[in-house]
Structure 1
Amino acid sequence: MRLLLIFIVFLSAPALLAAQYQQHNLQGSTLTVDTDEGAVTLNFYQNDVVEAFYQAKGVKQLPSFSISQSPADIALRLQETADKLILSSAGLTVNIEKSPLKLSYYRSGKLLLAEEQGYVQNADNQQHGFRFALTPGEKLLGGGERALGMDRRGQKFPLYNKAHYGYSTESSQMYFSLPLLLSSNKYILLFDNSAKGEADLGATDKNVLQFSAEGGRSSYVVVAGDSYPQLVSNYTALTGRQPLPARWTLGNYASRFGYHTEVEARAVVQKFRDAKLPLDAIVLDLYWFGPDIQGHMGNLDWDRTAFPHPEQMLADFSADGVNTILVTEPFVLTTSKRWQQAVAAGAIARGLDGQPKTFDFYFGNTGLIDVFSEQGQNWFWQIYQSLTEQGVAGVWGDLGEPEVHPEDTVHAIGMANEVHNAFGHQWADMVYSGMQQHFPAKRPFIMMRAGAPGSQRFGMVPWTGDVDRSWGGLKPQVELALTMGLSGFGYIHSDLGGFAGGETFDKELYIRWLQYGVFQPVFRPHAQEHIAPELVFHDKDTIDTLRPWLNLRYQLLPYNYTLAYQNSVSGMPLMRPLFFYDETNTALLDEKNSYLWGDAFLVAPVTEPGVTSWPVQLPGGVWFDYFSTKRYAGTTKVEVPVTLNTIPVLVKAGSFVPMTKPVQSTQDYSSEQLTLHYYADSSIDCAKGEMYEDDGKTPDAIAKGEFERLNFYYLNDNGTQKFELRRSGDYNGKPQSREVTLVVHNQSAKPSHISIDGRYIQLVPQPARFARLENVAYYDKASRQLSIKVDWQADLTQLAIR
């Protein structure tokens, strides 16, 4: 059971002989190299993506949970010399030293990554893994949810999904561990292994990166690219991209731990409606299946005493534009109503004695559903199918690390430690596959707090777990979101306001967290119920402060939905690190407090109380304060003035930002009246933007071609500002025409001539006349804003301003 064995810190067995090359075979995009210790397979999935799969003799190999792409039909070139093989695609070259076997990866003649000793193994405890050489100054981002700073080089941490209740500013182990790193040397390295393990990023030896695990798959993948966005695109093409969610996913959620009765749930929805605050979803925590916290997990059926008419409640909510999401867990208590049913169905993971494995944890004595077995999946899915048929709109999978997972638990494909990190992944796969088969007209919503590389392809919407309700809990949220976004999880978000603890209501903290939430992928305040997380339960001043922010969230639906589209087709995260703006500025790799919301916005959440200004790192270019319109430029750190009503939100010069009127739910959304903001600056001679539109609910709308793209262009032609509005595509419900108000910001002077498609239009002196007339313009000297109203019917509409 060895391929190569060396003495390193996590491997204590004596060193054995290194693997020696024997022969090779190239078939299509796969090269197999036989050695005296086993086979090594190199699979090219793209020109820039290659997997190295070491198959040591006698070592059990689990399937890949991460890779969803099949090896591509790629033209490879193989050269052989006396001491090496050289395998090349159009994007990567792999040097394979024969004695001892060792792989190095090059792109355009430059070394990306090299095995330091390659595959290593400990015959005593079945740990195995890989060692790679690090280069001076190389930064390493990734590893999943951890509060350690963006650059994780020099850290050592567990690869084991584990709850960290009430975490704050620092955490080395959390709910969503990922054996995945992005290097400043422009590669992504994926350790394709689902087992309990460890990552050592130069902590033990500053020049060595090593992964180890207790079993699992002995495989890693190297992803290359010319830019960081291309790296993410290539990686998500390999592991799968996030399906486009329903538009309501981007709305406001009512959520807490938790609503005890149907009366209470109905009352909170009505309270939002009475306050005229938008609402698109309500999340029911574990009280929907039991009257208290302990003893009922696994019932997974309505407590008809507390919820006597759930089907009618679901229907009433749906008619009001409110989608219902139910919490579920993979634990079935021995005291639950379904325990005997689950045992009889063979759904419970077993112990070493072959009997259903039971153990104690906080909620009671329990078994764990084996989501890796056909019996477990079939039994679990029929519960989701029944709930969906009743009208439930979304699934919340909680405790899916799993939170408690005894090592002697036997799953269908391996022991607990071998498959632990893939549990949430397999659970999401089960729900997503069931939804596709049985409810093909729905876009699934699957919120879970644990998974594995590639879980995003099942529509997983992860969150950052049970964060402390404190300023310390707010501080690491940008870092957590950026790290997960780079790893394919574009919908990572936090419990807005904080979840755990907090004995008194901190009004300022609550406001700051929800302001940040407007520029998060999911807007979901959630907390323990002793302090209400929902905005409607707070004082009038808090509501008045946050109402414009919540309305802004809904006004930005065209922009945000376009970010969702971009994520679905390219893997581009909605929250983007500043180094995406300037990849030559390596200092931006460490920036964990500011981020880009799409291409247009730079956001810096305020994470300390009582401040009147807040530092913002500029990444270069020109930016305008969304609130004050002040112009900023350069790569310095600036102090942006703030009040309790504002946080730093900057808009990039040359940006197009489409917006609509706020609505009470996305059910009422329409883009027939569109406000298109353009941020002009003398530094920008040309610019472009886009907007994606479909009906907000049809699955695979992109693949089916059932969508419309609206493209916007700007050109400064010798002092004449030219705009083009182009539209293409069709879908059910598409507006045949749109009333578009183009708002040009930072317009330095009143124009003398404005035309639409060659026709002169009137520049009116009063905003009241502008509001009631068609095809007119108005210039506001004080705000330096030019507004032009356009009846957009044609596929191409052109405007000229001089």
Structure 2
Amino acid sequence: MSDGEITLGEDGGVVYHVLGEELRLEILFGPEPAQVLARYADLTGHASLPPRWTLGYHQSRWSYESERVVREIAREFRQRRIPCDAIHFDIDYMDGFRCFTWDRNAFPDLPGLLADLHEDGFKAVAMIDPGIKVDRGYDVCADGVEQDVFCKLPDGSLFHGPVWPGECYFPDFTSPRVRTWWGQWYERLLRAGFDGFWNDMNEPTIFGGKTFPPRVQHDFEGQGAEHWQVHSAYGMQMVRATKEGLDRLRPGRRNWVFTRSAYAGTQRYASTWTGDNFSTWEDLRITPAMLMNLGLSGMAFAGSDIGGFNGAPTPELYARWLTSAAFHPFFRTHTAKGTPWQEPWRYGEEVEAVCRKYIELRYRLLPAIYTLFWQYAAQGMPMMRPLFFEDPTDERLRAIDDQWLFGDHLLVAPALEAGMHAREVVIPAGTWYDFWSDEPVEGPCIISCETPLDSVPLFVRAGAVLPMGPVQQFVGEKPDAPLELHLFPGTAVSWLYEDDGESLAYQQGAFRLTRFEMHFDGAELVLRREVSGTWRPPRRPITIIFHTDTIYQVLFDDSPHFVLNNQVQLADDTWQVLRAAIA
């Protein structure tokens, strides 16, 4: 294995610098982007489906430093009716930054706190760093020394460097034995009630020197290596150790980890985010490109720190960031110590209302978004796709990085600049419907869309079946709520993927996959439906909503159904063919 870097030149050239004796290139042919990504996933590994709650809204800060503060944050979300699924615990929850501990003064009853959060529909996510404080009275350190799991220098002495707790040892995650040792320590945090984990500082980072000296020794799966040879993979091996440990401790569950550092193949173990950004319009502007590039690199379950980690966003910047991020795979606000509070209600009533509107929309779109995650896990397709996926031969589309496809059928074009009251939107070929007004637009074309603070230009492809659920305060709050199928007349194929959202039973066929194929000739809409898989959702009503002119007759398998306001109510979903006559 070798370490190296790629330099992309302004002239389009690519320069690859590599340290070591080996240069290996894998060339993946398409010709379509989707085919390239499918082959990349086959080569480096497919992501697993995450627990469904991770698709909701997450609230974080460095740090919510006490039980009292965490309870206040949770209470505000529920009282203000702003949906939220997860509260994150940054490093200050620990006892002196010692991993796998917690501060008994700030959190005197951590299990009780987490149980109460669960009762209110929240999940809890804890940060863990790789650095283990040099302290023989600290059980993780003492056991690590005894078990010989820490990285060493060439003379055999233990390598140590300063991080948050002070001087730290670092596990050698390139050793299978060490990965097993690391994974067992999560048991105490699981017993306390944590649901997910955040592996940070795992480039690896040390203060002053930035990272390990190049001659630090690694096991490297028994082959032996120096740090300069395995540096880029250290973070991936850490989250591998974490994920595999969680899978042993909680078998049959979807255990979720996200990571700051990654390498090709990390999607098998973790999701990610863009790291410590700034509260600037420039950082908001470059975020979509960063996330689309991560998706093209296999790490599609990614997001940014909404509002910026460093600094203080204006109310306008925070609102624009959150409304844009509602259409990102990972949806989390996070900010640094010493910055102003950055929850959705901190910027006045107008911004709070805007944030609530788009967080609610995110939850309504979860049936569609979860289906995108199935496509990612099964086929390597990112949820957030560059516009050139529509036509890879169109060079104009390759340069567009401020709007994107969110799955097969949604086109998102948010305002990303200060004071932007309108923006140009590139509409790809075909018919698209304005999500807010149902007005059709014929592409390819460029149109101007108004962008008041509460409006993100959003379009739906003709022929789409867009599944939507209810507004809910957390994932799973309303398991038997009606499922809405929004029909936008045209010709296309759509999918709806469903399962229990928590277990691994889907890997044995316990899922439900529905394929919709729509045809429309201007007068009659025909929708054919095919269902596979053994999982059955809770019994629920189905609402079919037609986004078109007046519907005057609807047949389900040749049986007529009553139509009111272009909607049809069904008691079950056993039908196979829908026919609708449009005035």
Which TM-score bucket, shorter chain as reference? over 0.9
Shift of 1:360: 3.3
Does residue 1:447 correspond to 2:262, yes or no? no
- For 2:128, the aligned partner's letter is T
Aligned pairs (5 A) from 1:259-338:
259-290=64-95, 296-334=96-134, 337=138, 338=140
Does residue 1:226 correspond to 2:67, yes or no? no
CA RMSD of aligned residues (A): 2.2
Shift of 1:649: 1.4
Shift of 1:322: 1.3
Shift of 1:394: 0.7
Single out whichever of 281-290 and 219-228 deviates more from structure 2.
Answer: 219-228
Question: For residues 54 and 141 of structure 2, what CA distance do their matches in structure 1 show?
Answer: 33
Aligned pairs (5 A) from 1:686-765:
686-699=491-504, 701-716=505-520, 719-731=523-535, 734-736=537-539, 738-747=540-549, 750-761=550-561
Question: For residues 343 and 416 of structure 1, what CA distance do their matches in structure 2 show?
Answer: 20
Shift of 1:735: 2.6
Unaligned segments of structure 2, at least 5 residues = 206-210
- For 1:322, the aligned partner's letter is F
Shift of 1:702: 3.2
Shift of 1:387: 1.5
Residue equivalent to 2:285: 475
Aligned pairs (5 A) from 1:71-470:
193=2, 195=3, 197-201=4-8, 209-215=14-20, 217-290=22-95, 296-334=96-134, 337=138, 338-361=140-163, 364-374=166-176, 376-403=178-205, 404-413=211-220, 414-458=225-269, 460-470=270-280
Question: For residues 620 and 423 of structure 1, what CA distance do their matches in structure 2 show?
Answer: 44
- For 1:788, the aligned partner's letter is V
Alignment partner for residue 578 of structure 1, among 367, 387, 394? 387
Question: For residues 345 and 688 of structure 1, what CA distance do their matches in structure 2 show?
Answer: 56
Shift of 1:514: 0.4
Shift of 1:202: 5.4
Q: What is the DSSP-based 3-state SS (H/G/I as helix, E as strand, rest coil) of the residue aligned with 2:271?
A: strand
Does residue 1:488 correspond to 2:292, yes or no? no
Question: For residues 100 and 268 of structure 2, what CA distance do their matches in structure 1 show?
Answer: 26
Shift of 1:553: 0.6
- For 1:526, the aligned partner's letter is H
Question: For residues 163 and 538 of structure 2, what CA distance do their matches in structure 1 show?
Answer: 54
Do the aligned partners of 2:556 and 2:575 also contact (CA within 8 Å) in 1? no
Residue equivalent to 1:150: none
Q: Which has the larger radius of gyration?
A: 1
Do the aligned partners of 2:406 and 2:412 also contact (CA within 8 Å) in 1? yes
Larger RCO: Structure 1 or Structure 2 (Cα < 8 Å, ≥ 6 residues apart)?
Answer: 2
Residue equivalent to 1:587: 396
- For 2:333, the aligned partner's letter is P
Shift of 1:601: 1.0
Shift of 1:509: 0.3
- Give the structure with the higher percent helix: 2
Residue equivalent to 1:513: 321
Shift of 1:409: 1.9
Single out whichever of 258-267 and 445-454 deviates more from structure 2.
Answer: 258-267
Question: For residues 6 and 532 of structure 2, what CA distance do their matches in structure 1 show?
Answer: 48
Residue equivalent to 1:778: 564
Change (3 A) 1:745 1:521: same
Does residue 1:635 correspond to 2:438, yes or no? no
Residue equivalent to 2:579: 799
- For 2:538, the aligned partner's letter is P
Question: For residues 648 and 207 of structure 1, what CA distance do their matches in structure 2 show?
Answer: 32
**In the TM superposition, what whole-angstrom CA distance separates every residue of 1:228-286 from its partner, at most 9, and x where no partner exists?**
10110011011111100111010111211111111211221122111122121111000
Question: For residues 166 and 276 of structure 2, what CA distance do their matches in structure 1 show?
Answer: 20
Alignment partner for residue 528 of structure 1, among 320, 325, 336? 336
Question: For residues 538 and 651 of structure 1, what CA distance do their matches in structure 2 show?
Answer: 31
Question: For residues 547 and 359 of structure 1, what CA distance do their matches in structure 2 show?
Answer: 44
- For 2:72, the aligned partner's letter is A
Tell me the number of residue pairs that the alignment of Structure 1 and Structure 2 aligns.
Answer: 570
Question: For residues 256 and 669 of structure 1, what CA distance do their matches in structure 2 show?
Answer: 28
Alignment partner for residue 569 of structure 2, among 779, 789, 795? 789
Does residue 1:498 correspond to 2:298, yes or no? no
Q: What is the DSSP-based 3-state SS (H/G/I as helix, E as strand, rest coil) of the residue aligned with 2:388?
A: helix
Do the aligned partners of 1:660 and 1:670 also contact (CA within 8 Å) in 2? no
- For 1:415, the aligned partner's letter is E
Does residue 1:598 correspond to 2:398, yes or no? no
Question: For residues 91 and 552 of structure 2, what CA distance do their matches in structure 1 show?
Answer: 64
Shift of 1:606: 1.4
Q: What is the DSSP-based 3-state SS (H/G/I as helix, E as strand, rest coil) of the residue aligned with 1:467?
A: coil
- For 1:429, the aligned partner's letter is R
Question: For residues 619 and 717 of structure 1, what CA distance do their matches in structure 2 show?
Answer: 21
Change (3 A) 1:632 1:800: closer
Q: What is the DSSP-based 3-state SS (H/G/I as helix, E as strand, rest coil) of the residue aligned with 1:734?
A: coil
**In the TM superposition, what whole-angstrom CA distance separates every residue of 1:361-409 from its partner, at most 9, and x where no partner exists?**
5663223222123453243222213322332111100011112222232
Question: For residues 177 and 530 of structure 2, what CA distance do their matches in structure 1 show?
Answer: 52
Change (3 A) 1:718 1:212: closer
Normalising by structure 1, what TM-score? 0.68
Shift of 1:631: 3.1
Shift of 1:671: 5.8
Change (3 A) 1:289 1:363: closer
Question: For residues 240 and 709 of structure 1, what CA distance do their matches in structure 2 show?
Answer: 22
Question: For residues 453 and 277 of structure 1, what CA distance do their matches in structure 2 show?
Answer: 36
Single out whichever of 449-458 and 261-270 deviates more from structure 2.
Answer: 261-270
Do the aligned partners of 1:345 and 1:375 also contact (CA within 8 Å) in 2? no
Alignment partner for residue 425 of structure 2, among 609, 616, 623? 616
Shift of 1:795: 4.9
Question: For residues 718 and 268 of structure 1, what CA distance do their matches in structure 2 show?
Answer: 51
Question: For residues 590 and 515 of structure 1, what CA distance do their matches in structure 2 show?
Answer: 23
Change (3 A) 1:605 1:373: same
Shift of 1:753: 3.0
Alignment partner for residue 482 of structure 2, among 673, 676, 701? 673
Do the aligned partners of 1:672 and 1:735 also contact (CA within 8 Å) in 2? no
Change (3 A) 1:200 1:663: closer
- For 2:411, the aligned partner's letter is L
Shift of 1:209: 4.0
Shift of 1:358: 1.9
**In the TM superposition, what whole-angstrom CA distance separates every residue of 1:74-121 from its partner, at most 9, and x where no partner exists?**
xxxxxxxxxxxxxxxxxxxxxxxxxxxxxxxxxxxxxxxxxxxxxxxx
Question: For residues 728 and 654 of structure 1, what CA distance do their matches in structure 2 show?
Answer: 21
Question: For residues 446 and 791 of structure 1, what CA distance do their matches in structure 2 show?
Answer: 39
Q: What is the DSSP-based 3-state SS (H/G/I as helix, E as strand, rest coil) of the residue aligned with 2:239?
A: helix
Do the aligned partners of 2:462 and 2:492 also contact (CA within 8 Å) in 1? no
Question: For residues 223 and 543 of structure 1, what CA distance do their matches in structure 2 show?
Answer: 46
Do the aligned partners of 1:253 and 1:282 also contact (CA within 8 Å) in 2? yes
Normalising by structure 2, what TM-score? 0.92
